[in-house]
């Protein structure tokens, strides 16, 4: 894949002449869109339409890489809290699929400040469709990324969901200092792996709970190689032996931060390991089971329980806050402290996109599925 990525980035931005022009666009956008909610393989369709003309106050971008995330699928199904508006795209009123991706500026209107041709950007607002070749809009639609020649296009395309979620949860809820422990379930998830790497870079220790499986030894080694301090299974979590073991690990300083993306019985067990005045953050519910909380955790241990949704944080914070977060994360990536996620390439055509979405629903995808809309 390395040669493919280098080839993608070496392509010079086309239509640079358009930077000071308001002429009608000659670019045809190719996109995966939906005009109603439902089963993605049935409602998603390939659509082409003319890119809106550049104006004095807008920019044109081309998409370099866009992931297919579970939340994107839920959005198409109509099962996600965020529902983008159906907009007029040529002769069709529809929404473009996808929420995450990296694009490159190929044209700017004469009144545009802060972006120039060649800049790489992510989307500044939630629900902005990224499964398309090009987009046009005001500068406020896009967030410039810090410059970097070491961070890959894959890392930039997958920056705004999982690494940002891990970063914010580690930073915003408990006053952690080097040497402190964090406990999390879903340790092998994309967010979980980002937590492990960021925590290690910041001098924090992690206890990572994963579901037991036949290949548990290889998974444990994989997470340890990323920087995990300890890896335990959900079955071990509730045993007397593990409680004794963890007391020895913590040395009288139990974790003050727990991160939950699973729910159910094991998530309740994990909360028992938090120290007094700890914080327990739930950002997912993969087990689709409720989180039961004994009253003693609230009354006697004064544990605070939070929910976290990266979309809400993005919508409630300004460009400067987001840019500082991106600077920190890309800085870690540049140093090799936050690696590229496992990923597979999805061909940019209707059949491949629908197949990839179905694979994601059924759990057959191996790592991040990523499409490269303008690679050809």
Query: Degrees (nearest 5) of the Cα angle 132, 137, 139?
Result: 120
Q: What is the largest CA-CA distance in the chain?
A: 72
Structure tokens at 369: 């599925």
Structure tokens at 206: 């992690």
Please tell me the number of Cα atoms within 13 Å of 244 on its side-chain side: 3
- Residue 295 CA, chain-centre distance (Å), reads 33
**Strand positions, DSSP E, 51-166:** 58-68, 87-89, 92-96, 102-108, 120-123, 134-138, 142-144
- Please choose, from the candidates 50, 29, 21, 51, the residue with its C-alpha nearest in 3D space to the C-alpha of residue 112: 21
**Helix and strand element counts for the chain (H, E):** 14, 17
Instruction: Please give the Cα distance from 291 to 159 (Å, whole number).
Output: 29
Give burial (CB, 10 Å; 0-12/13-18/19+) of 289.
Answer: middle
Q: Are strands 92-96 and 87-89 parallel, antiparallel or unpaired?
A: antiparallel
- Please choose, from the candidates 361, 349, 183, the residue with its C-alpha nearest in 3D space to the C-alpha of residue 278: 183
80 noted as active-site residue: yes
Structure tokens at 34: 């939906």
Structure tokens at 57: 């106050």
Please tell me the number of Cα atoms within 13 Å of 346 on its side-chain side: 30
- Residue 121 CA, chain-centre distance (Å), reads 15
End-to-end distance of the chain based on CA atoms, in angstroms?
15
**Position of tokens 């392509």?**
11
> Of residues 20, 37, 80, 280, which has the active-site annotation?
80
Q: What share of the chain is helix, strand, coil (3-state, %, to 5)?
A: 35, 25, 40
Instruction: Please give the Cα distance from 119 to 143 (Å, whole number).
Output: 10
Helix (H) or strand (E) holding 307: strand 304-307
Positions marked active-site: 80
């Amino acid at each position: 894949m390395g040669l493919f990525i280098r080839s993608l980035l070496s392509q010079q931005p086309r239509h640079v002449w358009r930077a000071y022009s308001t002429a009608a666009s000659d670019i045809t956008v190719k996109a995966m869109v939906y005009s109603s909610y439902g089963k993605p393989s049935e409602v998603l369709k390939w659509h082409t339409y003319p890119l809106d003309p550049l104006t004095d106050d807008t920019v044109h971008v081309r998409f370099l890489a866009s992931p297919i995330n579970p939340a994107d699928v839920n959005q198409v199904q109509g099962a996600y809290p965020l529902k983008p508006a159906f907009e007029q795209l040529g002769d069709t009123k529809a929404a473009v699929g996808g929420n995450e991706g990296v694009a490159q500026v190929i044209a700017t209107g004469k009144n545009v400040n802060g972006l120039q041709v060649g800049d790489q950007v992510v989307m500044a607002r939630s629900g902005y469709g990224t499964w398309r070749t090009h987009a046009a809009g005001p500068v406020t639609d896009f967030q410039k990324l810090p410059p970097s020649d070491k961070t890959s296009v894959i890392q930039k395309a997958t920056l705004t969901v999982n690494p940002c979620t891990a970063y914010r949860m580690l930073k915003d809820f408990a006053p952690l200092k080097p040497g402190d422990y964090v406990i999390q379930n879903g340790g092998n998830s994309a967010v979980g792996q980002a937590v492990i790497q960021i925590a290690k870079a910041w001098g924090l220790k992690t206890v990572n709970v994963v579901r037991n499986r036949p290949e548990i030894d290889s998974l444990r080694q994989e997470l340890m190689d990323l920087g995990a301090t300890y890896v335990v299974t959900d079955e071990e979590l509730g045993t007397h032996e593990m409680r004794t073991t963890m007391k020895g690990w913590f040395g009288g300083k139990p974790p003050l931060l727990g991160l939950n993306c699973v729910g159910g019985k094991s998530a309740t067990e994990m909360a028992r390991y938090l120290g007094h005045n700890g914080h327990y953050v739930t950002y997912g519910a993969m087990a689709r089971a409720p989180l039961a909380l004994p009253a003693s955790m609230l009354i006697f241990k004064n544990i605070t329980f939070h929910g976290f949704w990266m979309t809400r944080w993005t919508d409630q914070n300004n460009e400067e806050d987001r840019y500082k977060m991106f600077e920190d994360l890309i800085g870690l990536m540049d140093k090799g402290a936050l690696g590229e996620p496992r990923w597979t390439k999805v061909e940019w055509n209707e059949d491949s996109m629908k197949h990839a979405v179905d694979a994601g629903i059924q759990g057959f995808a191996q790592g991040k599925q990523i499409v490269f809309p303008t690679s050809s």
